[in-house]
Amino acid sequence: MKGFQDNFMWGGAVAANQCEGAWNEGGKGMSVPDVDWHNPHLNRAGKRDEDSEMTSARLKELLTIKDDNQFPKRKGIDFYHTYKEDLKLMHELGLKCFRTSINWSRIFPNGDDEEPNEEGLRFYDDLIDTIVGYGMEPIITLFHYELPLNLVTKYGGWKNRKLIDFFVKYCKVCFERYHSKVKYWILINQINLIYVESFNSLGILSDSVENLEEAKYQGIHHQFVACSLATKVAREIDPSMKMGVMISDHNCYAETAKPEDVFYTYQKNQMSQMFYTDVRIRGAYPGYALRFFDDHKFHIEMNEEDLKLIKNYTADFMAFSYYYTRLNSYEKNNKGLNDISKNPLLKASIWGWSIDPLGLRNSLNLYYDRYGIPMMIAENGLGALDELTVDKKVHDDYRIDYLREHIKAMKEAIKDGVDLFAYCPWGPFDIVSCTTNEMSKRYGFVYVDIQDDGTGTGNRYKKDSFAWYQRVIATNGEEL
């Protein structure tokens, strides 16, 4: 049985808002990640739950803070100015593909502007040309939380149906400009994460709606329609472009073999993950989701035309990020989709993310059996506290171990019959973390000398994992 196909796309993935910086340059408008505040007294293992929502009062307060260092994504790693050198390093690493996002607020600074911002487009012209020039296939995410802030304050975020048109207009500009250079598009990063986040994913202020849970599902309906409409537009412009649906895979295991544990865990997986891919790949709302709405008395406005679009313009490939698995107990975890237990059988990072390579093989099999369309691992990796030695080395054997085991799991999944065509480890050079807004949570093969308080030289140093991944790519996954 053969492992990775000859043209397997070994890559790396980043997001504009976590690396570009230059938050107020080039005509860019303010966006949601620009108000992601770094808490110096961070509770690392608990951050996601603490800060998943935003109120209007908190937003107002954040906007009065003048010190950019408190908002690490505003500066990122200055990729906006250093991308040529950073991509040169990625070329040296041997990457076959590079995933990044276009920051919506560089193209439409307010989201509702009449005309796109030409300066923003020129930046991405050159960025994409540089990726292509280095022989890497660009994979472009169109919405990686970079919602123009004006769409939050003026329109109430994705709960408002008008967001569909703003998003599709933005997509159309990007498709027209880049269709001959970009084949693979991920329309929305981790579209399923609304069950943990309402601000990053949907731009909804929790106190601006009567029923936040219902508002989230209304917002997601608008995202589904927007994705289908964008797919329609893309096919009209250039049918060779491929549109991906992406989720964050946090597959849940049942704590025991008790049928209640097994079934209610399955239900949790349905509503936190498969609901999204079922709609975008199978083209219809599944019965279990409609029942979930009924049981919760959610009224979601949708019309016939929406359902037709959802049915006719489905995704071409499925992408998912994979970091950890979850555990569910019927008795203990009954407070909603995000109520889970720690798996005592697995080691975890200091951020509490369990380490489970076999879980990746399990998920690949699960999704491929269900959908039978090409699969991409859009993110994977180990966030760790790296140490730069005096001679400027980083001995990150823990990262090599993590990635090695996950690559082995992918190889087994391919032998199981899964059509996996790309693997993009997260943050091939260190960037600001998404959930904790800190530099210290590092994923890279390249160390970037910037610290949580914004100090540092900004110099780049290759870690031990650089040469290791370079060899993995050169041998197409044979030497691990």
Residues that bind ligand BGP in the complex, under the rule CB under 6 A? 15, 18, 189-190, 248, 321, 379, 383, 426, 433-436, 441
Q: Nearest CA to 149 among 187, 112, 110?
A: 110
Shortest distance (Å) from residue 349 CB to ligand BGP: 9
Number of Cβ within a 10 Å radius of residue 366: 17
Residues pairing with 426 in the sheet = 13
Helix (H, G, I), strand (E, B) or coil at 262: helix
Q: How far is the CB of 108 from ligand BGP (least distance, A)?
A: 21
> Least CB distance from residue 438 to ligand BGP, whole Å?
9
Report the residue number, 255 or 379, with the smaller CB distance to ligand BGP. 379
Residue 261 or 396 with smaller CB distance to ligand BGP = 396
Shortest distance, position 144 Cβ to ligand BGP, whole Å:
6
Cα gap 241→178, rounded to integer Å: 10
Q: From residue 200, give the alpha-carbon distance in Å to each of 48, 166, 219, 470.
A: 11, 17, 12, 34
In this complex, which beta carbon is closest to ligand BGP, that of residue 277 or of residue 329?
277
d(CA 2, CA 348): 32
Burial 338-354 (b: 16+ CB within 10 A, else e): bebeebeebeebebebb
CB of 441 to ligand BGP, least distance (A): 5
- 480: tokens are 């691990």
Nearer to ligand BGP, 18 or 117 (CB): 18
Under a CB-based contact definition with an 8 Å cutoff, are residues 240 and 183 in contact?
yes
In angstroms, what is the minimal distance from the CB of 263 to ligand BGP?
28
**From the CB of 464, what's the least distance to ligand BGP, in Å?**
20
> Looking up tokens 């490939």, which residue turns up?
317
In this structure, which long-range contacts are made by residues 379-382, counting pairs with CB atoms below 8 Å and at least 24 apart in sequence? 379/13, 379/321, 379/322, 379/323, 379/424, 379/425, 379/426, 380/321, 380/322, 380/323, 380/406, 380/423, 380/424, 380/425, 380/426, 381/323, 381/425, 381/426, 381/427, 381/443, 382/349, 382/355, 382/443
- Could you tell me the smallest distance in angstroms from the CB atom of residue 320 to ligand BGP? 10
Q: Which residue, 255 or 438, is less far from ligand BGP as judged by CB?
A: 438
Cβ 444 to ligand BGP shortest distance, Å: 11
Nearer to ligand BGP, 189 or 329 (CB): 189
Structure tokens at 326: 């979850």
Q: What is the nearest approach in angstroms of ligand BGP to the Cβ of residue 378?
A: 8
Strands 184-186 and 97-101: unpaired
Nearer to ligand BGP, 321 or 354 (CB): 321
3-state SS assignment for residue 289? helix
Residue closer to ligand BGP (CB basis): 159 or 441:
441
Choose between 47 and 268: whose C-beta lies nearer to ligand BGP. 47
- 215: tokens are 């508002």
Burial classification of residue 300, based on how many CB atoms lie within 10 Å of its CB (0-12 exposed, 13-18 middle, 19 or more buried): middle
State the residue for tokens 């790693």. Answer: 77
> Residues with Cβ < 8 Å from 8, sequence gap 6 or more?
96, 420, 421, 422, 423, 476, 477
- Tokens 């289908």 found at: 228
As measured in angstroms, the least distance from the Cβ of 198 to ligand BGP is 15
Nearer to ligand BGP, 15 or 147 (CB): 15
Minimum CB–partner distance for residue 424 and ligand BGP (Å): 11
Nearer to ligand BGP, 379 or 386 (CB): 379
Nearer to ligand BGP, 144 or 411 (CB): 144
Element (H, E) at 90: helix 79-93
Give the residue at shortest CB distance from ligand BGP: 434
245 alpha-carbon distance from chain centroid: 11
Question: Which residues neighbour 64 within 8 Å (Cβ) at sequence distance 6 or greater?
Answer: none
